[in-house]
Structure 1
Amino acid sequence: MPTILIKDDLRRSVEAATGGQMTVLYTATKQPTYMNVFYRQNLEDIDPELGTGVDPAFIVNGVEKSELFIGAYPGIVKNGELISLPGVDPAASRNFDSFLTAARACGPGFHLVTNAEWMAIARWCRKNGFMPRGNSYYGRSSDVPLETGRRVDGAAAGTTTGTPRTLTGSGPMAWRHNNTAGGISDLCGNVLEWAPGYRLMDGEVQIIPNNDAAAHTIDLSRTSTLWKAIRASDGALVAPGTAGTLKYDGIVAGNTGQHGAPRLSDTVTIRHGDAGQDSGAGYASGSFESLSVKEGLNVPNIARILGIAPPGAGLGSDGIWVRNFGERLLLAGGYYSLGSSAGVFARNLSSARSNVSGAVGARPAFFL
Structure 2
Amino acid sequence: MNTNFDAVKLAVEAATGGKNTILFDDLGNPSIMVRIPKFKISDVIAGGSQNVHPAFIVNGVEKDEIYISKYQNIIVNDRAYSLPMQDPKTYINFDQAKKACESKGKGWHLMTNAEWAAIALWCKKNGYYPRGNNNYGCDISYPHEKGVKTYEYEGKTGRVGTGSGPVTWAHDGSDSGIYDLNGNVWEWVGGLRLKDGEIQVIADNNAAAGVDMGANSSLWKAIKKDGSLVAPGSADTLKFDYTVDPGTASANKGLAKLVTTLSHKQTSESPYSAGAFEDLTADSGITVPEILKSLAIMPHGEKDNHGDHLWMRNIGERLSFRGGSFATSSPAGVFALRLVNPRSTSSHELGFRSAFVNL
Provide TM-score, normalisation by structure 1. 0.93
> Which of these residues, 207, 225, 228, is aligned with residue 236 of structure 1?
228
Judged with a 3 Å threshold, the aligned counterparts in structure 2 of structure 1 residues 204 and 99 are, in CA distance, closer, same or farther, namely: same
Are 1:226 and 2:219 counterparts? yes
Are 1:89 and 2:78 counterparts? no
Asked whether the 8 Å contact 1:132–1:174 carries over to 2, the reply is yes
Q: Which moved more, 1:234-243 or 1:292-301?
A: 292-301
> Which of these residues, 59, 62, 74, is aligned with residue 61 of structure 1?
59
> Which of these residues, 283, 296, 300, is aligned with residue 311 of structure 1?
300
Residue number in structure 2 paired with 1:165: 159
Q: Which letter does structure 1 place at the counterpart of 2:230?
A: V
Are 1:246 and 2:235 counterparts? no
1:329 deviation in Å? 0.8
5+ long unaligned stretches in structure 2: none
Judged with a 3 Å threshold, the aligned counterparts in structure 2 of structure 1 residues 13 and 237 are, in CA distance, closer, same or farther, namely: same
Distance 1:62 1:244 in 2: 26
1:1-368 equivalence runs, <5 A: 8-153=6-151, 161-162=155-156, 164-216=158-210, 218-232=211-225, 234-250=226-242, 252-269=246-263, 271=265, 273-274=267-268, 277=269, 281-312=270-301, 313-314=303-304, 316-368=306-358
Asked whether the 8 Å contact 1:253–1:271 carries over to 2, the reply is no
Partner SS for 1:49 = coil
Asked whether the 8 Å contact 1:126–1:315 carries over to 2, the reply is no
Q: Which letter does structure 1 place at the counterpart of 2:329?
A: G
Asked whether the 8 Å contact 2:98–2:110 carries over to 1, the reply is yes
Distance 1:365 1:272 in 2: 35
* Identical-pair percentage: 43
Partner SS for 1:37 = strand
Q: Deviations over 1:212-250 (max 9, x none)?
A: 00002x111010011111111x11111111111100001
Judged with a 3 Å threshold, the aligned counterparts in structure 2 of structure 1 residues 271 and 229 are, in CA distance, closer, same or farther, namely: closer
Partner SS for 2:330 = helix
Provide TM-score, normalisation by structure 2. 0.95
1:269 deviation in Å? 4.2
Q: Which letter does structure 2 place at the counterpart of 1:241?
A: G
Q: Deviations over 1:33-84 (max 9, x none)?
A: 0100100001122224222221111000001000001000011111111110
Count of residues in correspondence between the two structures? 355
Distance 2:145 2:265 in 1: 43
Q: Which moved more, 1:159-168 or 1:92-101?
A: 159-168
Asked whether the 8 Å contact 2:80–2:104 carries over to 1, the reply is yes
1:270 deviation in Å? 5.8
